């Protein structure tokens, strides 16, 4: 009986001291997925491009932080900080590797710049606006021109009917 009681007492204490393994497993899985993505990207690179790739020192530092984080798993705060650092270092080094694969930036390699794509999409949207009530045209520029003409004529009519301060004895009629 005393052995089972002591085991019962130890089990809750051990469970309280156990680090959140699920969280560490999730972080390790995320790092593994990013490494798998980098590996897949590098597998499609040409041999000439692979030769140019230099492995940054951050990869080695990330590995050291990862191992130390797993060793310090009992001290969850310290281990969590080490795993965060390992993840950050890993992502920074992956970005560095990807940048070395291409000598040109994506914008330099593109045939159509993002602003040009936006202009083309906006033009298509403007041209495809359905008929606005009161107009017979589909072209938005004609619709805006007709509306602007209405506003100008309305302002001209109002200004011709508005008395000037000199008429009616200098008083404004409202």
Contact 41, 98 (CB under 8 A): yes
- Reported as a single tens digit per residue, the pLDDT across 39-94 is 998 888 888 888 888 888 998 999 999 999 888 888 778 888 999 999 999 999 99
- Reported as a single tens digit per residue, the pLDDT across 17-50 is 555 677 788 888 999 999 999 899 888 888 888 8
Tokens for 21? 């393994």
Query: At which of 81, 103, 125 does a domain end?
Result: 103
Query: At which of 64, 81, 103 does a domain end?
Result: 103
One domain for residues 74 and 33: yes
One domain for residues 91 and 22: yes
Q: Is 50 part of a structural domain of the chain?
A: yes
Q: Which domain holds residue 146?
A: 114-170
pLDDT band at 165 (very low <50, low <70, confident <90, very high): low
* Percentage, residues of the chain above pLDDT 90: 12
Q: Is 109 part of a structural domain of the chain?
A: no
Rounded Cα distance, 146 and 140, in Å:
10
Contact 69, 12 (CB under 8 A): no
The number of distinct structural domains making up the chain is 2
Q: Kindly report the pTM of this predicted structure.
A: 0.50
More confident residue, 138 or 50: 50
Tokens for 99? 């940048």
């Amino acid at each position: 009986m005393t052995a089972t009681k002591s085991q019962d007492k130890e089990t809750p204490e051990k469970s309280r001291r156990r680090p959140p393994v699920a969280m560490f497993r999730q972080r390790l899985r995320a790092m593994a997925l990013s490494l798998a993505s980098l590996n897949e990207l590098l597998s499609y690179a040409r041999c000439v491009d692979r030769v140019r790739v230099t492995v940054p020192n951050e990869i080695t530092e990330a590995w050291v932080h990862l191992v130390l984080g797993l060793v310090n798993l009992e001290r969850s705060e310290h281990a969590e900080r080490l795993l965060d650092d390992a993840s950050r270092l890993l992502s920074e080094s992956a970005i560095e590797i990807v940048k070395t694969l291409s000598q040109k930036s994506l914008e330099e390699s593109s045939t159509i710049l993002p602003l040009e794509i936006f202009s083309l999409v906006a033009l298509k949207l403007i041209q495809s606006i359905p008929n606005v009530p009161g107009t017979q045209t589909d072209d938005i520029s004609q619709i805006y021109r007709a509306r602007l003409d209405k506003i100008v004529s309305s302002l001209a009519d109002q200004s011709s009917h508005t008395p000037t301060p000199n008429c009616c004895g200098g008083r404004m009629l409202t």
